[in-house]
Amino acid sequence: MNLRIRDLREDQDLKQVQIAEYLQCDQSLYSKYERGERDLPLRLAVELAEYYGVSLDYLVGLTDVQTPYPRKGKKR
């Protein structure tokens, strides 16, 4: 996953500090996520997938298809 989140960020010409601000964490912590020194919490992985418009499967390397799945409507 670490290479994917770095590649996605770099493809958008963004700095680590910008993504860290979006995720509301320190840049040093986000850097550790990118380098694989710390596990990225599921909540933050979901936020990044939504931010970049990719599926979680793509983000974690289970597929090479970036397209996210269609969202389900909420049941009442």
Domain boundaries, the chain: 2-59
- How far is residue 39's CA from residue 59's CA, in Å, rounded to a whole number? 13
| Domain 2-59, CATH | 1.10.260.40
Report which residue type is found at 59: L
- pLDDT-derived band at 74 (thresholds 50, 70, 90) equals low
On the question of pLDDT at 30 being above 90, the answer is yes
On the question of pLDDT at 2 being above 80, the answer is no
**Mean pLDDT score of the chain:** 91
Within 8 A by CB and 6+ apart from 36, the residues are: 1, 2
Global pTM value: 0.85
- How far is residue 70's CA from residue 75's CA, in Å, rounded to a whole number? 15
On the question of pLDDT at 71 being above 80, the answer is no
What pLDDT is recorded for position 75? 55
